[in-house]
A = this chain, B = another copy of it.
């Protein structure tokens, strides 16, 4: 079997280990029980691995994207917070989000009539629906339309159509790079209705300060109101993650909207408190 393993999977001391190779100066290795799914798409190598520490995990080209243990934190935070910010979101666009977790969360709101989910890699959706139910919930909701296409191109083709757009991208390298460009945010602005709201993950406030600031600046140049919030995401480097909201009209988060939703992380208090930014972040954003 060893012959067929990619470089980031190694056998040591009788165990299989996945070692993330994205950082030159920090290596995280996960002990793996089993390779549950492994297939190469035209875009990347898609794997579902069963790990000892985090349970099942989705890895793309050997980089962990989400896990059974903590995937809900990220997915709930990027979904319920903007749902509490928009006055009445009915038509939602998700760009990326192949693990289906964001769509699953958005579907917890009855008023949502349609969710267009544009994911470039169909294989990610297939793998997660079948083998990562902790994150995907085996999503099968009639309101969700799967569109396997380039999210940038798709957004460019839309005008005043969506109440809410959620950009659930991977890191700004490779295929996801275009999802951090100013022209992309411009097309989101156009694709939103006049009271529309967008949200994206804007990387780590500690380790990716430049990307975070650039994202916020680009969004605030286009949108009437920009708001940043944070959450803990244990499997992401540094554990601390930022999200940026752009709104075409002024907004007032209504935390009570998440009340009664079946969630593991988000509740009213979390929605109210997530906009409190640490002092270094307040200063970074002012400078």
Q: Identify the A interface with B (CB < 8 A).
A: 17, 23-31, 51-53, 69-70, 73, 206, 230, 232-234, 236, 238-240, 263-267, 269-270, 272-274, 276-280, 282
Task: Kindly provide the distance from the CB of A182 to the nearest chain B CB, expressed in whole angstroms.
Answer: 29
Q: Give the contacting residue for A28; candidates B27, B51, B265; CB below 8 A.
A: B27
Task: Kindly provide the distance from the CB of A277 to the nearest chain B CB, expressed in whole angstroms.
Answer: 7
What's the Cα separation between A238 and B234 when bound, in Å?
4
What's the Cα separation between A238 and B53 when bound, in Å?
10
Which residues from B are CB-within-8-Å of A24? 31, 52
What's the Cα separation between A277 and B271 when bound, in Å?
11
What's the Cα separation between A273 and B255 when bound, in Å?
14
Which residues from B are CB-within-8-Å of A31? 24-26
Say whether A265 contacts B280, CB under 8 Å: yes
Report, nearest first, the 5 A-B pairs whose CB atoms are least far apart. Answer: A239-B239, A273-B273, A25-B52, A269-B276, A273-B276
Say whether A265 contacts B238, CB under 8 Å: no
Q: Give the contacting residue for A276; candidates B52, B232, B270, B278; CB below 8 A.
A: B270
Task: Kindly provide the distance from the CB of A26 to the nearest chain B CB, expressed in whole angstroms.
Answer: 4
Task: Kindly provide the distance from the CB of A56 to the nearest chain B CB, expressed in whole angstroms.
Answer: 14
Q: Give the contacting residue for A239; candidates B234, B264, B282; CB below 8 A.
A: B234
Contact flag A26-B25 (CB < 8 Å), given A269-B277, A270-B278, A280-B265 = no
- List 9 additional A-B contacts (Cβ < 8 Å) besides A265-B280, A273-B274: A24-B52, A25-B31, A26-B28, A26-B30, A26-B31, A69-B206, A233-B239, A270-B276, A270-B277
Instruction: Supply 20 A–B pairs (Cβ within 8 Å), ascending by A.
Output: A24-B31, A24-B52, A25-B51, A25-B52, A26-B30, A26-B53, A27-B27, A27-B28, A69-B206, A232-B240, A234-B240, A238-B239, A239-B240, A263-B279, A265-B278, A267-B279, A267-B282, A270-B278, A270-B279, A272-B276
What's the Cα separation between A231 and B273 when bound, in Å?
12
